[in-house]
A and B are shown apart, each in its own frame.
Chain A
Amino acid sequence: MKRAAKGHALQVVTANALRSGSVVFRTIRGDWSLDIADAAVAETAEAGETLLAAATQDVAADVVVETYLVDVERLEGGPRPLLLRERIRALRGPTITENRTLPPASVEAGLLKAAC
């Protein structure tokens, strides 16, 4: 998996839900949310590994697949991934208008602007 520079402090754990394939983030409650704003943020590399290990138990439990750490920065609205790839994943959809009949993902949340 692609990651940003090593040694970056702030990280969240992401995965895809097994059934739907949706992008999800590990929360402080120990479950998963579609919204990165709910993600638990690990502040050290060790905390990140601990968070990932706990989250990865849900792979064995057949809840999610492909867990990994994502480097983020903290903004007012919540964590924002450093990599564009992860910012687009966090949008829950592409940065373009799909099918021209659907609004772009998450325009409301203002995330689109943040991603581009």
Chain B
Amino acid sequence: MYRYDEFDRRFVTGRVDQFRDQVLRRLSGELTEDQFKPLRLMNGVYLQLHAYMLRIAIPYGGLNAARLRKLADIAMKYDRGFGHFTTRQNLQFHWIELKDVPQILSDLAEVEMHAIQTSGNCIRNVSADHFAGAAVDEIADPRPYAEILRQWSSLHPEFTYLPRKFKLAVSGSAHDRAAIQVHDIGLQIVRNDAGETGFTVYVGGGLGRSPFIGKKVRDFLPEAELLSYCEAILRVYNMFGRRDNKYKARIKILIHEAGVDEIRRQVEEEYEQIRGSRLTLPKAELDRIAAYFAAPTFEALPDHSQAHEQALAGDRAYADWVERNVSPHRQPGHAIATIALKAVGEVPGDISADQMRVVADIAERYGHDEVRVSHEQNLVLPHLRKDDLPQVFAILQQAGLASPHAGLITDIISCPGLDYCSLANARSIPVAQRITERFADLKRQRDIGDLKLKISGCINACGHHHVGHIGILGVDRKGEEFYQITLGGSGDENCSIGGIVGKGFSSDEIVDAVEKIVDTYIALRVSPSESFLEAFRRVGDAPFREALYAEAA
């Protein structure tokens, strides 16, 4: 894991002191709300429906035991004993009092965490594949590049007042687990014919009111040119991105309006100016950062594990969990485990302080002290020995963290919605909970197979509904909660934006509607191995539309 250097430490503690002073001045009345609001937002403090919310950055989703325990302490001391993981690999506390924020930030700084650039029109937390450093299909670890981008974008003087927020994501594998094509800049690590490492660059992806898939602007960008090229993109955006209308201010709109060829031309022109400057990454610097992310010293093990095989044969619950939540590791005898934070009836992405501590203990004892947050609001233990898996499973089970449904219909992404969010039109959590209850039968879920269901409480699309195989969007219809369904979205390397299937459903109807869609899929799939998305792409939305609206028509 990256460790702060002297500069980072001074910068973060300096910011904490500065904000402590600003909060004091606000509480004493020296600063007005209008003066203070932009300052608090710069430090990740939002005012939500019921209370202040603090959003903490977890760069590329990297946690360890110390960080998790600190988050648990904060949850107990200053919040209501839990935290909420988001689709951008951040953590949100929903019940923070303003007066406590400086102390919380100071506590966080002890474990090299902060809330800087988690809000506002700047470059936000850089996200990355949560299987980084462990995935079998990995070309190169995305985290060193994400860290380099983080350092470059932190307090970048030119880019602190962009037209709008700006999000980057990096994937190191051909299979995109980081949803890079729906980010402002998506970077896909590739190797060229000469075996050199570089990036395929996508620009202008995004969800929200106007969803767009990122456009490819470069097939191969040499790794040393990462910052020069990103700086060129940001400069073009900073100059030409619209500032007159906040709904048209993201780079996706600039590209949509000017055309990708024109933007590419401008970026390349800007890049020619910058190229060869101080932004070119020297190999030594790349290596220095990469060293922070060096793989732990794995034990040389045979891939076959007696303990694991025995448990598989003898324990049905273990076998179920392994089937969905355990993924292959590139090191023989090792595995990656996903901790799904959405057991039946749970709040997607929520985790209690006690559970954080359990995960911290496991990571320390069995997992080389590494934990990841995934954009699917789950946690990941990236480096476990297969020999230890049965034991890890038993501990997770005791903590209520062993729900065996990763990637199934109940592994729902849901934003906080109208239960917490001041921008929401409708609640999303209760809909997620009711769907998990309806599909609680694991046998049925497994029969349905891979299915990504994503729910947002308003068009800002924090719950990624546009890229859900089934997406649900909460809308307000004459004061009533209504839910619009989109079908066929996908956030991976075959990215697509879901299409609206028809008129919306009331809160009472929405779960039945989802069930109808699922039953329709089961009836029309050519075989159980044809996934929902594959079937949808084959047949289109007509059969689903028919099933949903036949009676009404």
Contacts and interface: CB of A to CB of B under 8 A. Distances in A.
Contacts of A21: 47-48, 50-52, 96-98
Given A98-B82, A102-B81, A19 B427 contact: no
A60 B32 CA distance: 7
Interface stretch (B195-203, B345-353, B368-376, B520-528): B345-353
B352 A65 contact: no
B347 A96 contact: yes
- Counting chain B CB atoms within 10 Å of each CB, which of A18, A21, A22, A89 scores highest? A21
Interface stretch (A25-33, A39-47, A80-88): A80-88
Interface residues of B, number: 34
Contact of A85 (B47, B49, B346): B49
B261 interface: no
A54 B81 CA distance: 37
B420 A94 contact: yes
A17 B105 CA distance: 21
Interface string A73-105: 000000000111100110011111011111000
A82 B82 contact: no
Contacts of B48: 21
B479 A82 contact: yes
Interface string B75-109: 00000111000000000000011110000000000
Contact of B99 (A19, A23, A61, A65): A19
B51 to A, nearest CB: 4
A11 interface: no
B432 to A, nearest CB: 10
B481 interface: yes
A22 B99 CA distance: 12
A66 B50 contact: no
Contact of A65 (B33, B51, B481): B33
Contacts of B97: 19-21
A96 B352 contact: no
Contacts of A16: 47, 51
Interface string B45-57: 0011111100000
A102 B80 contact: yes
A77 to B, nearest CB: 20
B435 to A, nearest CB: 14
Contact of A95 (B52, B96, B350, B430): B430
Contact of A22 (B51, B81, B418, B430): B51
B547 interface: no
A112 B52 CA distance: 22
Closest 8 CB pairs of A and B: A94-B419, A21-B52, A99-B82, A21-B51, A62-B29, A20-B97, A65-B33, A19-B99
Given A62-B29, A82-B479, A84-B479, 20 more contacts: A18-B26, A19-B27, A20-B97, A20-B98, A20-B99, A21-B51, A21-B96, A21-B97, A59-B33, A61-B29, A88-B418, A88-B427, A94-B50, A94-B419, A94-B420, A95-B427, A96-B430, A100-B345, A100-B346, A101-B352
21 contacts: A16-B51, A19-B27, A20-B52, A21-B48, A21-B51, A21-B97, A23-B49, A59-B33, A62-B27, A62-B29, A83-B479, A84-B418, A88-B427, A89-B49, A94-B50, A96-B347, A96-B419, A98-B350, A100-B346, A100-B352, A101-B352
